[in-house]
Structure 1
Amino acid sequence: MSRASAPGVAHALARHLPRLADGLDWVNRAVGTAVAWLALAMVLVTFIVVVLRYGFDAGSIALQESITYMHATLFMLGVAYTLRQDAHVRVDILYQRFTRRGRAWVDLLGTLFLLTPVCVFLFIASWEYVADAWSVREGSREAGGLPGVWLLKTLLLVMPVLMLLQGLIWVLRNGLFIAGFETEAVDQPPVDQAPDSLSRDDDEPNARRESRTNG
């Protein structure tokens, strides 16, 4: 490839890679939005279990296990969406002090050397465990329980895959930003803009009071 064609290839990638990132982002957003409804379903099923037990002296192992299924599904399929929203608990000492370019480098290197190895390890470590469950179509150990334990355990493989997808999105967007092809490193507004907006809101009542005083 000639050196003259290299800029053309770079600009072509800069046009198509954001589309790839947006497509992958749609997957995690759709999965996260869908499984969020499981939180409401858990509340309703828990209410039904309590009413059956204390109101009618009846119980259902399947209903009780379904709560566990929904909770596990919500956690394992929603973790990538939570990462997308930057909503995981963390202690931020230096990150917000960096420039946007500095934060892009932190996100890029953190994704490559922390997030990716952990997700790969989780996938490899869970593979045999999930394969054993599939080989016997593992079901509940309780009589009347749900038969899909093998499907539930499969989420141990789906979770790191979704996390890797989110990591790939960050690599693409932050890489393009560092290379100068994107004006924003990430899809979310920077957190350090919040105090400015709050200060503007606080200044508005003072400005109105001053205008009334001058008038």
Structure 2
Amino acid sequence: MINKLVSLAEAVSIYTGKCVAWLTLVMMLLTCLIVLLRYGFNIGSIALQESVLYLHALVFMMGAAYTFKDDGHVRVDVFYRNFSARKKAWVNIIGGVFFLLPMTLYTGYLSMDYVGSSWRVLETSQEPGGLPFVYLLKTLIPLMMISLIIQGLADIGKSVGVLQSSSNTLTEKGQ
């Protein structure tokens, strides 16, 4: 049962991560278009510039769980890399339960009023000609926290599986 949930959570992270990864190409093409329009044709567009900002936020925030799943996040692993699978599992469980989950839950909780007030007024850009979707941009904050919670729980579940399989191996060797 735990393995199915872990696989499902990781599948969601992989799908989301691969989808938003393509947005980096769109972001690059859009940036080239902005430069071409500005310096080639003397045309500026606040909406185009803000759309690059929105895409960057989308890639970063919705790709965080995928990065976490693939251990691409920043980790000071001077000791961790030499740990056995069992010790790594314990570090991942303790880190997930005592650091990742409380931080994401608290940040998600704090963001709800911030995002809610933006939705109540359907907040738009302060720049003339800017995008009218600031409330959608701010919604990425709790979505990021939700995706990190799901992936964090999957990581904890995977680590519990490592501990269970290693304890079963130790029990079998003891017989």
Q: Per-residue CA shift, 1:112-148, capped at 9, x if unaligned? A: 0010011011101111100000000001112221111
Q: Which of 106, 109, 113 in structure 1 is aligned with 2:94?
A: 109
Q: Secondary structure at the match of 2:71?
A: coil
Q: Secondary structure at the match of 2:64?
A: helix
Amino acid at match of 2:138: K
Distance 1:42 1:159 in 2: 20
Distance 2:99 2:23 in 1: 30
Indicate the residue corresponding to 2:32 in structure 1: 47
Q: Deviation of residue 182 (structure 1)?
A: 9.5
Indicate the residue corresponding to 1:25 in structure 2: 10
Q: Secondary structure at the match of 1:58?
A: coil
Indicate the residue corresponding to 2:44 in structure 1: 59
Give the conservation status (yes or no) of the 8 Å contact 2:86–2:166.
Answer: no
Q: Which of 105, 110, 132 in structure 2 is aligned with 1:120?
A: 105
Give the conservation status (yes or no) of the 8 Å contact 1:49–1:64.
Answer: yes
- The structure number with the bigger radius of gyration is 1
Indicate the residue corresponding to 1:5 in structure 2: none
Q: Deviation of residue 91 (structure 1)?
A: 2.0
Q: Deviation of residue 180 (structure 1)?
A: 2.5
Indicate the residue corresponding to 1:192 in structure 2: none
Distance 1:54 1:95 in 2: 49
Distance 2:101 2:5 in 1: 19
Distance 2:74 2:81 in 1: 15
Q: Which of 83, 88, 96 in structure 2 is aligned with 1:98?
A: 83
TM-score by length of 2: 0.92
TM-score by length of 1: 0.75
What percent of counterpart residues are identical? 43
Deviates more, 1:83-92 or 1:127-136: 83-92
Give the conservation status (yes or no) of the 8 Å contact 1:173–1:182.
Answer: no
Deviates more, 1:172-181 or 1:131-140: 172-181
Count of residue pairs the alignment pairs up: 168
Give me the CA root mean square deviation: 1.5
